[in-house]
Copies of this chain bind each other. A is one copy, B any other.
Amino acid sequence: MSADRRVYLKMTGAEQALEILLSRAAQLPVLPAETIPTTEASGRVTAAPIYAHTSAPTFPAAAMDGYAVVSALTFAASEAQPVSLCVPEEAEPLDTGDALPQGKDAVYKIEDVHEEPGSITVLAAAWPGQHVRLVGEEVTAGELLITSGEWIGPQHLGLLLAAQVWSVPVRRKPVVTLIPTGTECVPAGEEPGDAQFVEYNGPMLAAALDEWGAEPQLLAPVPDDRETLTKAILQATDNSDLVAVIAGSSAGREDFVPHVISELGELLVHGVRMMPGKPLALGWVADTPVIGLPGYCVAAWIALDDYARPLLCHLLGVAVPERPRVQARVQRKLPSSAGMREVIRVALCDSGDDEKPIAVPLPRGSGSITSLAMAHGLLPVDEASEGLDTGTEVDVELLVPLEEIERSIVAIGSHDLALAVLAEQLAQARPPVKLVSLSTGSAEGLAALGRGEGLMAGTHLLDPATQQYNIAYIQRWLPKLPLILVNLTFREVGLLVSPGNPKAISDVGDLAREDVTLINRQPGSGTRVLLDFLLQQRSIQPQAVRGYEREAYTHTMVAEAIRQGSADTGLGILAAASAFGLDFVPVTEERYDLAIPKVFLDLDKVAAVLQVLRDPGFQSEVTHLGGYSVRSTGEVVYEQ
């Protein structure tokens, strides 16, 4: 393994890379037209201007239910001098949409006439054309209905069919072949073996392409073998408008994509100054654009969105549809390197001052599929920016409809399994409430509340001095924020150990043993605070604990590490032990509360949380998880 076998990334600016791609694409013709029945054209793009075949209405028709008359016979009619008309010779009954009978030129509404057997009486003159839909009033033959290069929606369908346009020329859908790569990959749906993983980028990107009006073709994963990859790309370029290779575009030993592109055609860009998305390759093989996408899911999705979507729009001859935006505010410093485009996934959270919502950044890792799945929107930080300051107003591109944001509760703080029960119960509430839960640990949750991020924070911070939970920290960190502290649960905390407790761990004191390896929690989490307190009580120095510096972010990650055998024990909750089939050595019971700023108590969705907490169904389900006591659940344990 020597360095020269690697092709290092030659970084290009994000905007410049797009320009390079699109100016190369400008030499490609737009996709050919195909003619399809109008009734099937919704979601397609017009390939030519479309004109009305006929007028609509095609005949003069009644615009109201009533009587068709000859207006000239009514000119003298008034309240004082009613005019009587014979039915049907002078006044013919008809309904909305009926053709105006020959010779008649006006319609009285049914409620404007007095009906008698064989005649009607009217009290006002009708003007010629009264309540009559003229021929061509809606659409006139030959009129331009829609230009080329427009997306056809349901409403256009109505317009086209009204003008008797039965078929329309539309752009062929762009065919995008997705080639996942990686010897260790198995396609989604197959159980992966040891050291294999599921190729889930392909189906995700295919679904996105489908939404964007393309025709995705997802191939089975191709092993990291230069020849196989070469063959796959060549074959794909043959029958695709765009080829997107997933993974293998970086500078690893088996990242063949850039090599293969430059061997078969032209490598335009290798490496883009964007995060996520850096290891991106843009090229051209046999007149077909080939994009080498990063392997990390978020990076792959954003690269597809940033580069493939504009390219597809070019091929379709349409402008790139912009996502709806909302203005929001960031409440923390978000550093970003100048020259680097960054796309931050955010959740949007009500602001206490009823102003613009707060954009709460989700984990920035390029592999964090959760951050993409839970994001309300994208916050792009462009190349020129060196980051965002607290209070900056930003435009967030929405990934979900507005109502989803409005019914969301952003909760930042400690992880607890009861939150999942709460989330599902809230989802079943009417109207449904969506709990967007970020596991950051108790201390960070309270800090977030202080910044105005989040409607509530889960916290279980033990104050060693008072032996009380949460209150001392709130009084210290958030003295001026009016809030209530509502109990979620009391829960048993203990040492999670392998089934049968093979190392015979019986107390926190055993963490000092040479044969015991810990998996710890991150600083600021309530469990870390508790562990440090317990170690201090026993006069054990952190250095004396093997694995003290290895940190997991949730109880379940701790459990998973023990199940996998990469640690012997970790402090966590009974419910996590049960969920992973582990044994549990009880240590203490702790109180887990939700801190909710008072300013949010008026919101219906926050009221829904309190209602669920106090619901016996919720409480019984939580109890069922094991290790929980709901004796104070839903009670306000403190307010300030």
Contact = CB atoms under 8 A, between A and B. Distances in A.
Nearest to A191: B164
Contacts of A252: 65, 95-96
Nearest to A57: B197
A220 interface: no
Which 4 pairs show the lowest CB-CB distances between chains A and B? A324-B324, A147-B427, A161-B200, A95-B252
Interface stretch (A204-212, A225-233, A264-272, A333-341): A204-212
Nearest to A92: B1
Contacts of A549: 127-129
Contact of A420 (B144, B426, B556): B144
A189 to B, nearest CB: 5
A465 interface: no
**Which of under 10, 10 to 19, 20 to 34, or 35 or more describes the interface residues of A?**
35 or more
A39 interface: yes
B155 A323 contact: no
Contacts of A553: 137
A447 interface: no
A138 interface: yes
Contact of A155 (B195, B204, B404, B557): B204
Interface in A308-366: 317-325
Contacts of A147: 423-424, 426-428, 434-435
B373 A155 contact: yes
Nearest to A139: B370
A558 to B, nearest CB: 9
Given A188-B38, A188-B166, A138 B369 contact: yes
Given A138-B370, A402-B323, A557-B137, A1 B115 contact: yes
Interface string A106-143: 00001000010100000000011100011111111111
Interface string A29-46: 000000001110010000
A356 B145 CA distance: 29
Interface stretch (A452-460, A525-533, A559-567): A559-567
Interface in A27-72: 37-39, 42, 49, 51, 55-61, 63, 65
A420 B564 contact: no
B161 A204 contact: yes
A148 B253 CA distance: 43
A80 interface: no
A177 B461 CA distance: 57
A560 B136 contact: yes
Interface in A79-105: 87, 93, 95-99
Interface of A: 1-3, 6, 37-39, 42, 49, 51, 55-61, 63, 65, 87, 93, 95-99, 110, 115, 117, 127-129, 133-150, 153-159, 161-162, 164, 166, 182, 184, 188-189, 191-192, 194-195, 197-198, 200-201, 203-208, 210-211, 247, 250-255, 295-297, 301, 317-325, 367-370, 372-373, 375, 398-404, 406-407, 420, 423-424, 426-428, 431-432, 434-435, 547, 549-554, 556-557, 559-561, 564, 566, 579-580
Contacts of A551: 129
Nearest to A129: B550
Nearest to A183: B98
Contacts of A211: 42, 154
10 contacts: A65-B252, A65-B255, A134-B552, A136-B554, A141-B579, A149-B428, A149-B432, A161-B204, A321-B403, A322-B402
A140 B6 contact: no
A385 to B, nearest CB: 22
B566 A184 contact: no
A51 B421 CA distance: 11
Contacts of A6: 65, 110
Nearest to A433: B319
Contacts of A561: 134-136
A138 B367 contact: yes
A571 to B, nearest CB: 16
A277 to B, nearest CB: 14
Contact of A194 (B38, B59, B145, B251): B59
Contact of A200 (B134, B162, B253): B162
Given A321-B404, A554-B140, A203 B161 contact: yes
Given A159-B370, A254-B95, A115 B3 contact: yes
Nearest to A209: B154
Given A323-B401, A423-B147, A155 B188 contact: no
A493 to B, nearest CB: 18
Contacts of A95: 252-255
A39 B556 CA distance: 27
B560 A135 contact: yes
Nearest to A91: B1
Contact of A369 (B96, B162, B427, B435): B162
A427 B318 CA distance: 9
Nearest to A203: B39
B579 A142 contact: yes
Interface centre among A136, A250, A547 (most CB of B within 10 A): A136
A283 to B, nearest CB: 21
Contacts of A97: 182, 184, 197, 247, 295
Contacts of A115: 1-3
A50 to B, nearest CB: 10
A154 to B, nearest CB: 4
B158 A201 contact: yes
Contact of A564 (B135, B144, B251, B407): B135
Interface centre among A2, A6, A427 (most CB of B within 10 A): A427
Given A205-B154, A207-B42, A556-B140, A162 B297 contact: yes
B154 A207 contact: yes
A327 to B, nearest CB: 10
